[in-house]
Amino acid sequence: MRTKYGMKNILFTAIAVMLTYLNGTGQQKNLDFFIQQALANSPLLKDYQNQVQINQADSLRIRATYQPQVTGNSTNAYAPVIKGFGYDDAITNGGQLSAQVGVNQALVSRKYLNAQFETLRLQNQGISNTAKLSEQDLTRTVIAQYITAYGDMQQLSFAKEVNTLLKKEENLLKSLTETNVYRQTDYLTFLVTRQQQELSVKQLSIQLQNDYATLNYLSGIVDTAQAVLAEPSVTLQQLPDISQSVFFRKFTIDSLQLGNSRSLVDFSYKPKINLYADAGYNSTVTYLPYKNFGTSFGVNVTVPIYDGRQKKIQYSKIAIAEKTRIVYKDFFKAQYNQQIAQLMQQLHATGELIDEINHQVKYAEGLINVNIKLLETGDAKIADLVIAVNNYLTAKNLLAQNNVSRLQIINQINYWNR
């Protein structure tokens, strides 16, 4: 027979087993480690960074385009007339020999240059904002998978704890069965329950291994070793004003881009002035060719007069795009408010359910303790003990699942807050 401290010894043994499992699995890693690894290893985020650098190079290219453009040109041709047959000398001059250096300078207003630079600046803002959205998505995905793997680890630890408890009680029940205190069928019924628990432990071990491997995969980590996961530091964050959200920022950037596009349309219909000059040698080599060194310079002016009302058509396209932007913005606001309200409702309901499950766990645990004491004196009904253990397992698993659900809901809400 056991002393009144028997149950405490069992619990201490279970805790020791759990600690042994945790220490034997590997070093501990926290949520922040996997998030930082995922962000650092993401090729998509690196792609966005490179796109920003490309736009910076385009900005320098635009600036260089409106600086003096120097080119070298050389034309060397001979059109012979043989026995009166050949090209008309009035057209060909018999040939041409030229070597010139030309300089072109487009005259543009500072406002037009600024509008072009603004295009690239807004593109960079759009790319940066898209990168932040991708970062949000990746972070949410990694956190969700971390919570799932952590929940597996919690359930596995609990399953091992219960399995240890059942093994202890099996030894007692076996000895009591051998002394005919309990029937053989009672012992076999209890043995089946313990074996089912061992199968549950193996199944949970496989599930944890798979979910942990998925976590590594999402984080870009190449490692088959399994570490202990620290409790995820996922707490509900305060909701920001929707206009300050990175998700809403997209609509602001789109509005600025449409306004800048209208400015570029206006500038495209302004007169364009280009200065040019050249110097070098240009000769038909027919009369005093040594004197054909010279220079020329001038001004080209282009004034738009009529293009079939294309300007008005471009304005209408920009106006339609603005209407589309407003529709998407209003739809986003409605969906955002609806989703946040729904998530908060789910969080509240899950919290209430967890409180109720905690009470049920206490009752189930108390019932197990009573049945174990009766088992020690030979007065317990094995069927009642099995039912009590199953109820305890169900309640604890339900508690673990709802704790995971609660963290997942908080993760969904924080996704809109970061």
* Full set of structural domains in the chain with CATH: 6-66+108-269+308-415 (1.20.1600.10), 69-107+271-303 (2.20.200)
pLDDT at 24: 44
User: pLDDT at residue 76 above 60?
Assistant: yes
Distance, in Å, from the CA atom of 158 to the CA atom of 227, rounded to the nearest integer, reads: 18
In the structure, what pLDDT confidence band is assigned to residue 418 with cuts at 50, 70 and 90? Answer: low
Distance, in Å, from the CA atom of 333 to the CA atom of 415, rounded to the nearest integer, reads: 15
Distance, in Å, from the CA atom of 282 to the CA atom of 99, rounded to the nearest integer, reads: 6
Mean pLDDT, the chain, whole residue set: 86
Distance, in Å, from the CA atom of 366 to the CA atom of 389, rounded to the nearest integer, reads: 11
Cβ-contact 23, 226 below 8 angstroms:
no
- Residue linked to tokens 């007339």: 81
Q: What is the pLDDT of residues 97-116, one digit of tens each?
A: 889 999 998 888 888 888 98
User: pLDDT at residue 380 above 80?
Assistant: no
User: pLDDT at residue 85 above 90?
Assistant: no
Q: What is the pLDDT of residues 239-272, one digit of tens each?
A: 878 888 888 999 999 999 999 999 999 988 889 8
Identify which of 384, 260, 385, 398 has the alpha carbon closest to the alpha carbon of residue 321: 260
pLDDT at 3: 42
Distance, in Å, from the CA atom of 171 to the CA atom of 190, rounded to the nearest integer, reads: 11
pLDDT at 403: 93
DSSP 269: T
Q: What is the pLDDT of residues 164-185, one digit of tens each?
A: 888 887 777 777 777 777 788 8
pLDDT at 26: 54
Distance, in Å, from the CA atom of 246 to the CA atom of 74, rounded to the nearest integer, reads: 56
In the structure, what pLDDT confidence band is assigned to residue 10 with cuts at 50, 70 and 90? Answer: very low
- Residue linked to tokens 């396209």: 317
> Which position has the higher pLDDT, 407 or 96?
407
Cβ-contact 148, 212 below 8 angstroms:
no
In the structure, what pLDDT confidence band is assigned to residue 41 with cuts at 50, 70 and 90? Answer: very high
User: pLDDT at residue 16 above 60?
Assistant: no
Identify which of 60, 120, 123, 111 has the alpha carbon closest to the alpha carbon of residue 267: 111
Q: What is the pLDDT of residues 206-233, one digit of tens each?
A: 999 999 999 999 999 998 888 899 999 8
User: pLDDT at residue 375 above 50?
Assistant: yes
CA dist 220 → 41, 43, 44, 92, 408 (Å): 6, 10, 12, 69, 22
Q: Residue 417: what are its φ and ψ, rounded to 5°?
A: -100, -30
In the structure, what pLDDT confidence band is assigned to residue 14 with cuts at 50, 70 and 90? Answer: very low
Distance, in Å, from the CA atom of 242 to the CA atom of 196, rounded to the nearest integer, reads: 51
Q: What is the mean pLDDT of residues 39-61?
A: 92
- Residues of the chain with pLDDT > 70, as a percent, come to 94
User: pLDDT at residue 354 above 90?
Assistant: yes
DSSP 230: P
- Residues of the chain with pLDDT > 90, as a percent, come to 44
Q: What is the mean pLDDT of residues 300-322?
A: 92
